[in-house]
Amino acid sequence: MSATNLDLITSALRKLNVLDENESPSAEQGIQGLAALNDMMADMAKDGIRLGWYPQTDLSATAPVADENIRGVKYCLTVELGGEYDITVPDYVLVTASNAYARLAKGAQRYFESDLTGLPQGDAGWWGWPPP
pLDDT digits (tens, 9 = 90+) for 16-25: 999 999 999 9
Higher-confidence residue of 132 and 81: namely 81
pLDDT score for 43:
96
User: What is the per-residue burial (b if ≥16 Cβ within 10 Å, else e) of 93-107?
Assistant: beebbeebbeebeee
pLDDT digits (tens, 9 = 90+) for 91-131: 999 999 999 999 999 988 765 566 767 776 665 555 556 65
> How would you class 20 by CB atoms within 10 Å of its CB: exposed for 0-12, middle for 13-18, buried for 19 or more?
exposed
Distance CA 71, CA 101 (A): 10
Fold adopted by 5-108? Hypothetical protein yqbg (1.10.3230)
Q: Is the pLDDT of residue 60 over 90?
A: yes
Residues with Cβ within 8 Å of residue 97, at least 6 apart in sequence? 72, 75, 76, 78, 79, 89
**Its pTM surpasses 0.75:** yes
Distance CA 10, CA 74 (A): 9
Which residues is 4 bridged to in the sheet? 62
First to last CA, the chain: 66
The mean pLDDT value of the chain amounts to 89
